[in-house]
Chain A
Amino acid sequence: MARRFTAIILCFSVVLSCGLTARAGGNLLARDLTGFEPAPFGNGFFKGRFANQTWDARSIPVQFTIDNDNDPIPNPNGPPTISLAAAKTAVQKAMDSWNSVPTSYSNLQLTGERHSPSGGAGFDMVNEIAFQNPGLPFVGVSSPVYLVSDFYLNDGDDIDEDDDSDVSAAITVATDIDHDGDIEFPAGFYKAGTILEADVYINTDDYTFSANDADLGNFGIFDLQAIATHELGHSQGLGHSMDNQISDTDGRSATMFQNYGWDADNIRGVRSLGTDDQAWISYTYPEGSASSGPAALQGGDVAFNEAYGFIKGELRHGWQNEPLLGGCIYATNKQTGERVVSGYSGLNTQFYTNPSRSYVLEESFLDGHYVLPVPKGDYIIGIEPVDDRPVSSDVISALTFFGATLGQNDFNEQFYDTNNSAALPSDAKSIHVNVGQTVDHTDITTAKNVNISNYGGLRFYALINDAIFAQRIPASQIAAANGGQNILIQAAAFHTRPLDASISPVFAEAVLTTGVVNPNLTATIDLNNPLDRISRFVGQDDDFAPFYFHNPKELGRKVKAGIATGEIQDLFILLKVPDGPFPGPSGLPPVIGLDDNPTPLLNSYISIDNGQTFFPIIYNYRASLWVSLTN
């Protein structure tokens, strides 16, 4: 086999864990360099794989102290807004959110207060909640320190190199046995990825926080409980989720979604954990997975294996014919339409790496396997690229960054069918999962699609009442697709988003039709004879939302014939803003993304007279026509 080496800078960590053998998306990844096997090309590189960042069961409960340097806690933008007591209450509520998941044995405890030196205490075997900027402009941050190889910790070992023993053979549960303020680990074997310490920094040097419900949704005031809940997810080894829209009627995000939405309902959702958060914390710390210790069932617990099953499979990249790394897989409940959990592919990916975090991948190292923990139910399995929208690949994991670097993030949203091929929604097959059951071989190979896109990077969003946004797809581009051969015209995709994070963006309709550009540069678009149309088109939150056409093959044939005869000059894909009033605190309609192209392509139009006149605009809508090749 040809060896392909790809140098990759980067990345952070993520993927799974628990007492289970598989790894998956949902967790922070650790570099596992166990054995320190040198790379054949030397240069200080070692062979590695990914491990989950996770607390060993002997470290449960995980004990935190809170920074008591200031009471009240300073506010850089005005008078203080939080007393230390209120901060402790908010942090305790954040811990309670995680501790109350009945299928997880994770347990966080706030055990005391301590002074936090300027710049943070750093790696000192104390898990602290600190109110300061740790040196970088985060709102909050928690970046656990972990073992990079399997290791046997001996009695007396000094893990943080402060001339004080951090390991004791006299204990079986991590605790401050010598009462000097830091935590000692029980002696014994620990796996690579084991978290040794996890500080949480709340950046009160630069941002205003509140613990008052009355401030929820106030722009510029961060909710301490929500931020703490998210950061404590990282402290337990969870990574960022892609889930920022639960369903067509619920726009709230998972707690572990990257961005903070200024919307009280969404913030309340962040405080309380979503199904994705609950699934991954339970997968990482499965309740009932041991007969003794914290993982043993106790009063009020529910065994993970009696509440969840698994969906497993492999993603492959159709164009490149290779395993797909870092693709996002998600499970939607067939009955409710709610997105329940998402993860990432590439469980068994290997790499060469050096201390400077450069990576080298060999072709045989690529892997596309995934696992999703799901409650009993019927699921539709979808995939989406981690392609900047709604978040970029480098904020998820090294795996998603690998996928982006290898050019694998270029597929469209697709679904599982029983033919191991990517399907449109109408052909998607549902999967039934019982508790304790693993449904394996749920494999998807991405389709060989071609997108016709005429836009650049995102510049801003367009907001206008009663508007119809229209994007021209020149006939010449359609004719050129697939070298003039037959095509399936599958979907129109629009970059949409709501202005309120808890709202799903709903447009009055999406339309595919024909039209012409007039000599005065306006466009005449045929709204009376659309090629396809859908009412109540549900967009996505800061992502491309597809309007799937009803008969792609017939549409392709019809358009190709129309272009050949001159009957069709151009196609237009349209998005109509609905009439108000609009849901959400802003009361504003959903918006469409426009680009930063310095040169107008004159393919984007707007009408505010219900389609009588379409004016060109100097920016370009971020909208595409998806076509696929036919046999």
Chain B
Amino acid sequence: MKRRSVYIACVALGLITTTLWATSRAGSNSPQLTRVNVPKRGFDSAPPMSTDELVQQSQVIATGRCIETHTSWVGRTLFTFATIQVSETLKGEPAQTLTVATLGGVDMNRRIPVGMRVPGAPEFRAQEEVFLFLNPSTNPSGFAVTGLAAGKFSIIDDGQGNKVISSQAVVAHGVVESRIGAKHSLKLEELKENVRRQLARH
């Protein structure tokens, strides 16, 4: 079989040449497929990130439950803080609780009530179960979600006793969908396993 040329990587585009064959039987004459991780950068918010990217770019990966949120001023900047009771730490130093800060919020208690909102910043609600990819933050102290909202997933019950990941960023492995978008959700354990696999790889 005539082999065709395969584009060689350009570092800026993050190209990795790899063989992606399903079986050795089919792979004897297999060409190579070039994987492209196209770099994107949000001006002021992050695009969806793959699990690989989130794992690599996060110092802490943990699951837990949001037990409290509040908005307060740090200096003259409005932040919303979520306290997370950690149930499992997959990466980083284990901790019982983590405080996650996000820029923005609403202060209704001022005489002149004001609000501020940053497009792409994650949101938390009390009692929400979450899967978080985090990095330490110094100002304010605590943690920031990796890639803004990209590193925060809700964990929900799928109604059949399974804990699944709820995020548009995670589209599971569809079969025939009963309707568009009624895709099977990624199970919590699948995402954990995916993270562990990435951690082992790196």
Binding site for B on A (CB under 8 A): 7, 9-14, 28-31, 33, 36, 46, 118-124, 134-149, 151, 153, 157, 159-162, 196, 219-220, 222, 227, 230-231, 234, 239-240, 258-262, 319, 353, 355-358, 385, 387-388, 391-397, 404, 407, 409-412, 448-467, 477, 480-481, 497, 499, 520-522, 542, 586, 588-589, 591, 594-602, 606, 608-609, 613, 615-620
B95 within 8 A of A: no
Known contacts being A136-B137, A598-B194, is A12 close to B119, with CB within 8 Å? yes
Name the one of B43, B52, B76, B177 contacting A140, with C-beta atoms under 8 angstroms: B43
Tell whether, in the assembled complex, residue A521 and residue B117 are in contact, meaning their CB atoms are under 8 Å apart: no
Number of residues from B at the complex interface, CB < 8 A: 108
Tell whether, in the assembled complex, residue B23 and residue A461 are in contact, meaning their CB atoms are under 8 Å apart: no
Looking across the interface, which residue of chain B has its beta carbon closest to that of A589? Answer: B7
Tell whether, in the assembled complex, residue A151 and residue B112 are in contact, meaning their CB atoms are under 8 Å apart: yes
Looking across the interface, which residue of chain B has its beta carbon closest to that of A477? Answer: B176
Name 24 A/B residue pairs within 8 A (Cβ), A-sorted. A12-B119, A14-B119, A29-B117, A120-B77, A135-B103, A141-B118, A143-B116, A239-B119, A262-B39, A356-B69, A387-B168, A404-B168, A450-B179, A454-B173, A458-B50, A459-B50, A461-B38, A463-B7, A463-B36, A464-B6, A465-B6, A465-B7, A520-B25, A596-B194
Tell whether, in the assembled complex, residue B115 and residue A30 are in contact, meaning their CB atoms are under 8 Å apart: yes
Known contacts being A410-B182, A609-B2, is A142 close to B114, with CB within 8 Å? no
Tell whether, in the assembled complex, residue A147 and residue B114 are in contact, meaning their CB atoms are under 8 Å apart: yes
Q: Looking at chain B's contact residues, is the secondary structure mostly helix, strand, loop, or mixed?
A: loop
B30, B115, B126, B137: most-surrounded residue (chain A CB, <10 A): B115
In the assembled complex, the CB of A220 is this many whole angstroms from the nearest CB of chain B, namely 8
Tell whether, in the assembled complex, residue B22 and residue A602 are in contact, meaning their CB atoms are under 8 Å apart: yes
B64 within 8 A of A: no
Tell whether, in the assembled complex, residue B176 and residue A259 are in contact, meaning their CB atoms are under 8 Å apart: no
In the assembled complex, the CB of A128 is this many whole angstroms from the nearest CB of chain B, namely 12
Which residues of chain A come closer than 8 Å to B144, judged between CB atoms?
Answer: 135-137
In the assembled complex, the CB of A162 is this many whole angstroms from the nearest CB of chain B, namely 8
Binding site for A on B (CB under 8 A): 1-7, 10, 12-13, 15, 20-23, 25-27, 29-45, 47-48, 50-52, 69-71, 73-80, 101-126, 128, 135, 137, 139-140, 144, 148-150, 154, 168-183, 186, 190, 193-194, 197
In the assembled complex, the CB of B5 is this many whole angstroms from the nearest CB of chain A, namely 5
Tell whether, in the assembled complex, residue A219 and residue B12 are in contact, meaning their CB atoms are under 8 Å apart: yes
Name the one of A159, A412, A477 contacting B112, with C-beta atoms under 8 angstroms: A159
Could you tell me the distance between the alpha carbons of A515 and B118 in the complex, rounded to whole angstroms? 50
Tell whether, in the assembled complex, residue B42 and residue A258 are in contact, meaning their CB atoms are under 8 Å apart: yes
Could you tell me the distance between the alpha carbons of A261 and B51 in the complex, rounded to whole angstroms? 22
Name the one of B34, B107, B124 contacting A463, with C-beta atoms under 8 angstroms: B34
Tell whether, in the assembled complex, residue B113 and residue A140 are in contact, meaning their CB atoms are under 8 Å apart: no
Which residues of chain B come closer than 8 Å to A31, judged between CB atoms?
Answer: 106, 115
